Amino acid sequence: MSLDALRRQLAKPKTSVQLCLLGVAAGLIAAILIILFRLTIYGVQSLFLDSHDDFTQLPEHLRVSLPVVAAFLIALFAAMTGFKHYRLGIPFVIHRIKHHYGQMPIWNTANQFFGGALALISGFSVGREGPSVHMGATGASVLSERLHLPWNAARTLSGCGVAAGIAASFNTPLAAVIFVMEVVLREYKVHIFVPIMLAAVTGALATQFVFGHDTELALISVTPLSFWHYPYLVICGVILGAIAFAFNQNLMMIIRTFKPLSMFPRLMLAGLIAGLIGNLVPQAMGSGMSAITLAVTSPENIQLLTTILIAKLLATLFAIGLGIPGGLIGPVIGLGVVMGTLMSYFGQFISPDQHIAGTYSVLGMAGLLAATLHAPLAALTAVMELTASPQIIVPAMLVISTAYVTALQVFGNRSIFLQQLDFQGLAYQVSPASEVLQKVGIVEEMNEQFKLLYSDDKEQIKESLSVVNSHTPLIVFDEQNGYRLAEYDLSLMSDDSMNISYIPMHGLSSQATMSDAFDLLNDKRSGAVYVFNQKDEHHVMGVVRWDQIRQILTIRTS
């Protein structure tokens, strides 16, 4: 199949072998980038840490200085690349997918790779999934650009890159698919679902080949809970929902408070705070594995776990709030595990002869994740995959539902990603009409039966109109007026003369979608656009009229 035939096939909003194969390719590119990212972190950390992400054995002066030096290098790299607007991670990817078909700026991604690696190497309380999602979307964007694919297919491939990024970060391909549908794209369409699913599988398999099959919660053992725990789990869900609301509110408060500061002092302040917290409570450093390990090995040490929870909470809020390039999900998982372990202290009175701390730690993670991100289904599937335990499903559903409803209805909580987008002034919503039309490539609907006349001579135009039928548009071009649609003006026709009316036409690349045509013609609710080859602006390929757009909207709505 030629590239032109491939592009025409992908312009259709349908499941196809071609789109599935491209989804696999996007997933593989994302996996390679994330494997390099993780190997960079592990390789550098191995120079000064005995165990990955464990900063407890590090000397005090290094625990203080590492985050400060890393913050300086992050700011320096951003300054060298002229990177002024610090928009990174999952919120930025959501915006780019919704309003730019997933096109990702390269320097933006370079800052995410370099800054995210430095942040994780030096012990900032951030997750690797933010950079992973960003790099996955960029890999898919580069693939789409190289092949000049229609924007509707590029948007789907960006979702594939995000899914591969999540799957490669946590080894949870199913949760990655649900996360993309629930949080990033916020829609469920079969022709989008299938390639995203294949990309997630590709990302998971590639990283399993390099790093093995272990998951973030491999250390935790899950014990089935009796029915008598369920009333207490409802209370736990309410508490987790309240904590998620408080977490989101405080994070946004820090972001707003320090907005007047320029990027350099903000990052240096973040490094200083991380260093001071790391000096006092080294278990709070890193993405969350240290906290999870301690919760598993010492669930009875309530005082230490409480100290770690407070320190980890502060470290995460200030790192993300002050602009350190990293993800939010990793620290939230660590915080949720510690919270769940603390809640198991009272649950132990219900089943004194059972070790239930591991089960409660998983449930704490699930509830906090669902309420913080507004992603209950993704949280449930993540728990199922990370624990590989069917016994966790029913109690997890109970905790997740309670935490989510409490955060949403009682406190009016919103997804932290959407709150960040609102604060940055980045749009993430599109009109229902645009959402429908974004899925249809313009080459799929354009009228290719047209006549093109390079002349402004009226007699020649009349002669051309007389020989074409009513279904064949006549496009005329001259240097002064550009491309125009010529047709008889029926309102001014007489027996003696036939007047001609001209409709100015805007041009759209063959990569565009019907949504782009809708945006150009929506104000007048009439007119037409011409479609040109993305490699040659003078090669006109077809015409799209307002009536065609209205017909698509009518059919899709019905």
Summarised one tens digit per residue, pLDDT across range 189-198 is 888 889 999 9
Question: Helix and strand tally (H, E) in the chain?
Answer: 23, 7
Q: Note down pLDDT in tens along the chain; length 558 residues.
A: 688 888 889 888 888 899 999 999 999 999 999 999 999 999 999 999 888 888 988 899 999 999 999 999 999 998 887 766 556 788 999 999 998 898 998 888 888 899 999 999 999 999 988 899 999 999 999 999 999 999 999 999 999 999 999 998 888 999 999 999 999 988 888 888 899 999 999 999 999 999 888 776 777 888 889 899 999 999 999 999 999 999 999 999 999 999 888 889 999 999 999 999 999 999 999 887 778 888 888 888 899 999 999 999 999 999 999 999 989 999 999 999 999 999 999 988 888 878 888 899 999 999 999 999 999 999 999 999 888 888 899 999 999 999 999 999 999 999 999 999 998 888 888 888 888 899 899 998 898 888 888 888 888 888 888 787 777 888 888 888 889 888 877 665 554 556 788 888 999 999 999 999 999 998 888 889 999 988 888 889 999 999 889 888 887 665
Specify the CATH number for 3-429; select among 1.10.3080.10, 2.40.30.10, 3.30.300.30, 1.10.287.130. 1.10.3080.10
Helix, strand, coil tally for the chain in percent (to 5)? 65, 10, 25
CA distance 50 to 53: 9
Sign of the C-alpha dihedral, residues 353, 355, 360, 363?
negative
- Which DSSP string corresponds to 366-422? HHHHHHHHT-HHHHHHHHHHHH--GGGHHHHHHHHHHHHHIIIIIT----HHHHHHH
State residue 552's pLDDT score: 85
Contact call for residues 440 and 13 (beta carbons, < 8 A): yes
Give residue-wise pLDDT tens across range 461-501: 888 887 877 778 888 888 888 898 888 776 655 545 567 88
Give residue-wise pLDDT tens across range 120-155: 999 999 998 889 999 999 999 999 999 999 999 999
pTM exceeds cut of 0.75: yes
Round the average pLDDT of the chain to a whole number and report it: 89
Specify the CATH number for 438-557; select among 3.40.1800.10, 2.40.10.220, 3.10.580.10, 3.90.1150.10. 3.10.580.10
Q: Which residue spans of the chain are classified as CATH 1.10.3080.10?
A: 3-429
Q: Which residue spans of the chain are classified as CATH 3.10.580.10?
A: 438-557
